[in-house]
Amino acid sequence: MGRPRVAATLRALNEALGRPAALWVKESGARNLRHRDFLAPRAALSAAFPGGQVPPEAVSMVPSLRGPAVLPLRVCRHTPAGLTVQVRRPEAFQRLLGPLPGPDCPAEGARASCVVLHCPALRGPAALRPRHLRSILLADHLGQLLRAQGVEVCLVPALSQERSWEVLRQLRIDWPSGSGCSSFPDAVSALKAALGQCSCATACEQGPGPAEGVICKVHLKSFMDSSTWWATTPIWMFPCCALLQAKGQSSCCSIVHVVNCEEEFQQQQLDVLWRILDPGAHTHPSLKHLICGPVKVTNPSSTTTEIPGPGRGVLGAGCVSTWEWSKLCMMPPTFSTDEAWTEVIDTLTVAAIRFEMLSTAHRSQVGHISTKGTKSGAFVMYNCARLATLFDSFERAVEQGEHQLHHHPLTATPQATGASLGTMGEWLLLFNYLLPFPEVLQQAAQLPLPSKGIRITVCKFLIQLSMDFSSYYNRVHVLGEPFPHLFDQMFARLRLLGAVRDVFHSALATLHLPPLSQI
């Protein structure tokens, strides 16, 4: 049978009740999971059935539901909360404790075989600022998520050679370099000529009146529903239009503008100009805007908010140097001669910045970079290192002959695994993280209609996983005494935590973060 999925199980449960509406929800809290795994709330049943009475034959067929991606169900019963279902947990452990599946096809709703991610922050010679950095990190992460789902991704504009991009290298941002927007001179000339022939455009005479770099004004009455106004057309818009026109020619290609809120209006102007100049290529509904909220500089005494360049250390929101970051992370300064230790500090720094920028809802303000507590990137990396230490300790014990193994527990078939696992902490790890993880990646990479927005949830997923794993790890002594009668339980726990480790590594890869083996 295939790997179980949350969506497939919910779909089968809804079909069993004969209603197209989504009646069932997956439980996630430990308190409710003691009694049920899925719930059809009483209010939803009352709305779907007369008097809330579900036909008995529908209830009786729920435990017999089968399917390659449907969880094995044990019992369905009426309760004061509604209709509840429990999963046959030993069988679920056996089916889920295998290797993670490979990349899936593009998620339903993505509909595009290629996506152009346009990040205006990388356009032009101006210095990068914290608000720009947030949109760059978001575009980089979204690109990784889309690639994991088999979607072809094109990142634009290319990094120009005349600017220093050391800060992006420090943050492990993998962005293409090249000639950028200036590589389409013929297309730019054609667009300028097309605008010159447009009846709604009026050329601007160069003089003290018009803004510098503005070549014409466009009357937008024909393109705006509720207002009549003139828009200036800066010369930099034409290379951008030419670039997007070249990269987004395919009808199955989506274009996503990832832009900070302070430059949202400029991007809207660019879209209107493109619609005027090339209506045929710009009328499909695959154009989306992903707007990032502001980044508040936390160092008000500083007279500049520019991000440090080469030789001035790893950046933060407000010109935080590598030395300041090492103090925040409670680590020795980076003048240590130990390259491995320096790499750990740099990775923690990048993790702190990425998690703060990406775990906050993209429309909300980012106020500071946190390196303490359970909701920081450092906490996630710490728990990843704890897992590495656990398995290193186990491998050393095997080499020293403490465990007489006929096979390695992480490569053997998990036939007896389900019978040896069953605590609430173990079920939380499996049901809330191992089970939905592939769907979390799919949902984060979906590009739905603009009214629904784009959800980026991987950082929050990792933070919650770290909290539940840490709670379990602090309560359970995984590597017990080397007695044969304890081996089955120890190997089952190692297999579970090996799958948790794989989830950590796969999720961190979407952030360009290497897993740490020590902190």
* Cα→Cα distances 422→100, 120, 413, 430, 466, Å: 21, 50, 18, 10, 20
| 453 contacts: CB under 8 Å, gap ≥ 6 | none
Domain ranges of the chain: 6-87, 114-292, 322-509
Two tokens, residue 489 = 């339980």
State the chain's maximal CA–CA distance in angstroms: 89
Could you read off the pLDDT of 183-203 as tens digits, one per residue? 566 777 777 777 777 767 776
Judge whether 114-292 and 322-509 match in fold: no
C-alpha–C-alpha distance, residues 280 and 282, integer Å: 6
Look at domain 114-292 and name its CATH class: alpha beta
258 pLDDT above the threshold of 70: yes
Least confident range from 43-47, 114-118, 218-222, 402-406: namely 402-406
273 pLDDT above the threshold of 90: no
Prediction pTM value: 0.82
C-alpha–C-alpha distance, residues 386 and 77, integer Å: 41
Nearest of 426, 500, 493, 505 to residue 465 by alpha carbon: 500
C-alpha–C-alpha distance, residues 290 and 359, integer Å: 15
Least confident range from 134-143, 162-171, 222-231, 449-458: namely 222-231
Nearest of 386, 499, 506 to residue 434 by alpha carbon: 499
In what side-by-side order are the strands of the sheet with 214-219?
201-203, 214-219, 230-234
CA dihedral 360, 364, 368, 370 (to 10 degrees): -20
C-alpha–C-alpha distance, residues 238 and 381, integer Å: 44
Distance of CA 494 to the CA centre of its chain: 27
CATH fold for the domain made of 322-509? Isoleucyl-tRNA Synthetase; Domain 1 (1.10.730)
- Taking a C-beta distance cutoff of 8 angstroms, is the pair 400, 439 a contact? no
Mean pLDDT of 364-371: 69
Report the range out of 43-47, 152-156, 359-363 with the highest average pLDDT.
43-47
Nearest of 395, 393, 384 to residue 501 by alpha carbon: 384
| 126 contacts: CB under 8 Å, gap ≥ 6 | none
Q: What is the pLDDT of residue 233?
A: 65
Could you read off the pLDDT of 417-437 as tens digits, one per residue? 666 788 999 999 999 999 999
Distance of CA 349 to the CA centre of its chain: 19
Query: Percent of the chain beyond pLDDT 90?
Result: 31
- Taking a C-beta distance cutoff of 8 angstroms, is the pair 376, 355 a contact? yes
Q: What is the pLDDT of residue 364?
A: 81
Q: Which residue has the higher pLDDT, 468 or 220?
A: 468
Amino acid at 358: L
- Exposure of 12 in the CB half-sphere (CA atoms within 13 A): 21
Two tokens, residue 159 = 């990094």
